[in-house]
Homo-oligomer: A and B are copies of this chain.
Amino acid sequence: MKPNIHDVAKIAGVSSTTVSRVLNNRGYISEKTKEKVYKAMEEINYFPNDLARSLFNKRTNLIGLIIPNSSNPFYGELTFHIESICASLGYKLLLCNSLNRIDKEEKYLEMLIRNQVDGVVVVTYNRGILNYEKQNLSVVAIDHYLSKNIPVVGSDNYSGGKKATELLIMKGCQYIVHINGPIELQTPANLRRKAYEDVMKEQGRLPITYEVSPLQSHKEVISKLFDEHPEVDGIFASDDLIAASVIAESKKRGKEIPTQLKVVGYDGTEAVQVLLPELTTIQQPIDLIAKSAIDILLKQIEGEFNNFPLETYLPVKLLEGGTT
């Protein structure tokens, strides 16, 4: 059996109240008593039960993170930063991979509520489905609007989309096509598309956007793009994995990069920098996104409403590689 606070008390020859006070460093305790208690804890290898503490305190220091899939380098990296920041602040992370499935998100959310998490960080495409507010749970969303009252943190998508499109134009591309997720998903990533379209129109060009589903293979859509627009010589993909698929398809068709086709991605994760360093991409400040999200979440948890912005967009950086 695991030792409890009474076992410690008995060995130290004090009451469990005193042990608790030593544990929490609260109230006045004589140095001598403190030492006895510490020695007793050491002796029987005692660790306080956080379940019991949390039950009393109504505070678990537990944060839930719902992401689509940690296999994806962007989410894997985001998860790393969020967890690291949490750990440094004494919070623990309950990880949930929703695969973007509403049923899973609902189950996970209920699980998090039952486990009394202090707050939740959500990355989901399923907007408005979950009644996050009903439970008056502290929530922060990354890169996705959930409702009017839930703060969103992400990269400066408009600026990123603009940088990508302008680079392709500057490099002399004549037929620039954009690939993005479905426009129905009202995510801030739509701003990448908006920026692309704005810049194209400004230049008197016709914006053409192909839509890929976040759940399905991008191959057919990309193949279709090449079939329908053989003249394409510039592609701005809304994430690096799509960009990699574009490069693969281009190779398959004997279209040389960057001479015949230039490609720009989005995300710029560490994995991409190692595995596909030649890719030109718009790098998201994943560490800052994580930091801001947690900052905002903790403010909510501490009850400081109105002391944080509802939308936070952090600066992106153009990483120029050999694909442009």
Contact = CB atoms under 8 A, between A and B. Distances in A.
A279 to B, nearest CB: 8
Given A271-B271, A276-B275, A71 B73 contact: yes
Given A240-B275, A248-B277, A80 B71 contact: yes
A210 to B, nearest CB: 18
A72 B75 CA distance: 11
Nearest to A49: B116
Please give the count of copies of this chain that the complex contains: 2
Nearest to A113: B47
B97 A83 contact: yes
Given A71-B73, A111-B92, A272 B270 contact: no
A246 to B, nearest CB: 11
Contacts of A69: 80
Contacts of A114: 47-50
Interface string A64-78: 000001111101110
A250 interface: no
Contacts of A157: none
A177 interface: no
Given A70-B83, A76-B77, 9 more contacts: A47-B114, A49-B114, A70-B70, A71-B270, A76-B76, A79-B95, A83-B97, A93-B95, A248-B277
